[in-house]
Amino acid sequence: MDSRKYSGILKSVSKPARYTGGERGQVIKDRADVRCRWAFCFPDSYEIGMSNLGVRILYGALNSEPDVWCERVYTPWVDMQERMREYGIPLSAHESGDPISEFDIVAFTLQYEMCYTNVLVMLELGGIPERADERGEDDPIVIGGGPCAYNAEPMADFFDIFSIGEGEEALPELSRLYIRMKADGTYSRRAFLFRAATELEGFYVPSLYRVEYGADGTVSSFEPVDDRVPRRVKKRVVEDFDHAYFPTSPVMPYTEVVHDRIMLEVFRGCIRGCRFCQAGMVYRPVRDRSVETLCRQAEEMYKNTGYDEISLTSLAIDDYTCVGELTDELIKWTNENKISLSLPSLRADSFTRELMAKISGVRSSGLTFAPEAGTQRLRDAINKNVREEDILNAVHIAFEAGKSQVKLYFMIGLPTETDEDVLGIPALAAKVIEEYYKTEGRNKKRPPQVTISTACFIPKPFTPFQWAEQISKEEFVRRQRLIADNIHDRRIKYNFHDSEVSFIEAVLARGDRRLGVVMSEMHRLGACFDAWDEYFSAERWQTAFESAGIDPDFYTRRERAPGEILPWDVIDIGVTKKFLLSEYEAAKVSRPSKNCREGCSGCGALVYGGDTLCRKMRG
């Protein structure tokens, strides 16, 4: 947005710095040199989007191409949306201020199902036809990616193409195809989408597949419309992760954002195989960066940003085989520069005094662990592979180091969960309090505080629990009350997630193309920012389901049969359905599996990156 032209409007909305652009580190290019323009849209507020590491990586990777220009776009807050509609202001990119309808490619990263309504609002504000089949030759190509794209079907009506898997190499390849076709005169919307689907790996074009449904409502067939179109779309994997693009000069915001810190992506993937976790499956195989590369990136980012905190990001940082060496090397210069080191994804079973000593205590008096379940039987069922003694040992180490606050994350409604498992959650919290008073070196000036947080289990695609049913909203509430009623210590606090939101999230996570009608109706009803409590409306969703003739329970309150065609079967993540089903059966008898470092489980991910990656990961 041109802040000079719309200065009066900016003064009338909250946090005008969300819209001005001009941040240090933004990429500006000469339009005369550009052959492909991307508007990279984050369907949430500026503060959330500017903190997303994936967006930073793809923004930089695309702009590394000399004739490609990628610009940023975020969902305007509701007050700005009102002004834009009132004054006819189109949604524009931060860097150039040009309307997104003028771009060649408009890309959305789909990080969370509850942001889907924001996508349709951004298309409307940008003047782009909502449905893919309504767009003409002069309209941008609309592409989606991110974790939610692994089941793209609920949003298939609105996207021309989806990027499946990792985009650092895939999106520049798509740009090159676009530029070549424009240059040689072979470009048309249809031809471009067809060639992307058939010539490039990792691109799913929904219009090239025909879906039919049986009398029972399940998918009866999912077929490509042309023999040249792949029956299944293979995800993209960056094999040489140590040399993959990483941004060391990120765009610096003018206003406070969620994560104002250096974020180092230490490795990608996870060795553990928790049966509820989609990320642990879709990001296989594990690939890491060398200590040398990470230290260089950290120093460059510090020089370019001045941030005073470094966060080592991954799904479980202590599974990085060189975590001790890395922290030792970083501390050599971070301590003298008063830079704190954050290891946010620690596992209780591998938490040590050595790691504790390397974590700065300047900013926080507590640590966070995720036991996920209250009893060992259920932790074995979900393959968490963390024992109660691991948790108590971890908090003991934290208390010895002067910490007094511990956060424990759990999930309720997991397959096979009983009331005994639920009651194990407050019981474990009470044992943590007891552990505090058993610790000789505790900080006696501060009383202990344990915060329990419970999320509602959502069966996600490409997990062993993708076939499981979700318990009812009423049952979630009953189990939440069971926990609350069994907390008898004011030093234990309890937070829980809204079951209504989790219900909708589960519908969208496992939905099919028929939900497109629901999404259009939600947009008509004015939905936006459904990920924010103050704007989520369960009643609005129910109205949209009824108007579309859709029973949402069909997607949540039903266990899938092993042989059922699933809406996301068109995507190949490398991990086989056979493996996922065997893990589901193991969960039913609470039988844990080995992690990848203990031995190969034969999940199928070897085909993505070859045996070399998995052998290296196993050490």
What are the DSSP calls for 275-313, one per residue?
TT-SHHHHTPSPEE--HHHHHHHHHHHHHHH--SEEEEE
Confidence of residue 563 (pLDDT cuts 50, 70, 90): very high
pLDDT value, residue 2: 56
Q: Per residue in 349-365, pLDDT tens?
A: 877 777 777 664 444 44
Which two tokens mark 16?
Answer: 């005008």
DSSP H stretches of helix in 366-411: 376-381, 388-400
Q: Per residue in 377-425, pLDDT tens?
A: 999 999 998 999 999 999 999 899 888 999 999 999 999 999 999 999 9
pLDDT value, residue 335: 85
Q: Give residue for tokens 């080592």.
A: 312
616 pLDDT above the threshold of 80: no
Which two tokens mark 593?
Answer: 């599996």
Q: Per residue in 112-157, pLDDT tens?
A: 999 999 999 999 999 999 999 999 999 999 999 999 999 999 999 9
| C-alpha to C-alpha distance for 12 and 32, rounded to whole angstroms | 36
Nearest-5° angle of CA 201, CA 119, CA 460? 60
pTM score, whole prediction: 0.94
